[in-house]
Amino acid sequence: MIARLNRPEKKNALSEDMLGLLRNALKSANDDAAIGCFVITGAGDAFCSGGDLGRRSAEDAALDPTPLERKLRLQNVTHKVALAVEEFEKPLIAAVNGAAVGAGMDLSLMCDMRFAGASARFAEAYIRVGLLPGNGGCYFLPRLVGPAKALELLWTGEFVLADEALRIGIVNRVFSDESLIEETMAFATRLADGPPLQLRDIKKLMYQSMKTDLRTSLESVASHMAVVQSTSDYKEAIQAYKEKRKPIFQGK
């Protein structure tokens, strides 16, 4: 499945409505057995220019929200997308076309993998408008590039071009702009053709291992391994290997 941020006239700046639709799409896709992988990209020549600052400034001027109201708005709208991503059990890929700035960069960082077009560029630009990285940048970025490089990017708001993003670990692969979607969807299809339960468990175990010790991680792997070896998909994989054919998985 592919979801497009569709406000090209605003470089796909995120509105509250867009965030709500994205959150709902993730929840629906997570529950749909026919969807094996989810891809997020942007319409037009940008991935996402961040939050809709013009609209937000106008609303703030009209409503004059208190600090508590500002906090709750961030938690009840933007942060719910990050939490929906955390709860998404299937592979999630960002196909970054053009600029991914501020909240747009953070949205890409939330995904399991990032594929970039050659013209893609990334910036944690909050500092340029006197803000903090309020959409998870302080959490996601250091896990990819380390704390020192993350602080450099967060403090300066400098752009990182596609090849540099590949070198420092922000993106997994770089393709030509023309082939980005085709290549991303081919990879997504490859993943979606895999055994769904095993894909889900690998993702869960990998992220859990980043928050625990080796002994606990191995214990969890052993428990999950015992379960998957009793599945029909495991038996199908072994049989297909013996018969030298492509396995057909059913998520059972």
**pTM of the prediction?**
0.92
Give the Å distances, CA to CA, from 207 to 89, 194, 202, 211, 248: 11, 19, 9, 7, 27
Residue 202 CA neighbour count, 13 Å, CB half: 10
What per-residue confidence (pLDDT) applies to 36?
Answer: 96
Strand order in the sheet with 160-161: 99-101, 121-123, 160-161
Per-residue pLDDT tens digits for 94-120: 999 999 999 999 999 999 999 999 999
In the predicted structure, residue 59 carries a pLDDT above the cut 70? no
What per-residue confidence (pLDDT) applies to 251?
Answer: 86
Per-residue pLDDT tens digits for 16-47: 999 999 999 999 999 999 999 999 999 999 99
**Dihedral over Cα of 24, 139, 151, 132: its sign:** positive
Q: What is the mean pLDDT of the chain?
A: 94
> In 10 A of CB 76, how many CB atoms?
10
Residue 15 or residue 60, greater confidence? 15
If pLDDT is split at 50, 70 and 90, which confidence band does 156 have?
very high
If pLDDT is split at 50, 70 and 90, which confidence band does 152 have?
very high
Please give the average per-residue pLDDT across 221-238, as a whole number.
94
Please give the average per-residue pLDDT across 49-61, as a whole number.
68
Spatial distance between the Cα atoms of 219 and 214, rounded to a whole number of angstroms: 9
Please give the average per-residue pLDDT across 125-146, as a whole number.
95
